[in-house]
Amino acid sequence: MDLDRSLNSGNLPEDLEAIQRVKLDLFSNPLVKRCMAGFLHSLQTDLDLRRIFCGRVPVTTPVRRRLDHPPRGGARRNPSKPRR
């Protein structure tokens, strides 16, 4: 999976579809699936990591708001451990 490749074929609908395929491949990866909860938790607790992430990845306002103000009572203490 090449996340840094340029998608500019000159056909916008095809490029948008290609971007969606890359995202689907990324989030279907078993490693990414297992690590996502812990990574998102780290974005909420580690200001340096959040600054780097938000500087490199376009983050929408609702996502930034959620990172700045996590839900009360809903956060798991150790998100890397699966629920039983």
Residue 55 lies in a domain: yes
Residue 51 lies in a domain: yes
**Residue 5: left if φ>0, alpha if ψ -120 to 50, beta else—which one?**
beta
**Residue 13 CA: distances (Å) to CA of 1, 9, 20, 36:** 21, 10, 11, 29
Q: Model confidence at 68, in pLDDT bands (50, 70, 90)? A: confident
Residue 82 lies in a domain: no
Range of the domain at 35: 12-68
- Is the pLDDT reported for residue 36 higher than 60? yes
Average pLDDT score over the chain? 79
Whether this model's pTM surpasses 0.85: no
Residue 38 lies in a domain: yes
Q: Model confidence at 5, in pLDDT bands (50, 70, 90)? A: low
Residue 1 lies in a domain: no
Structural domain count, the chain? 1
Instruction: Report pLDDT for 61.
Output: 79
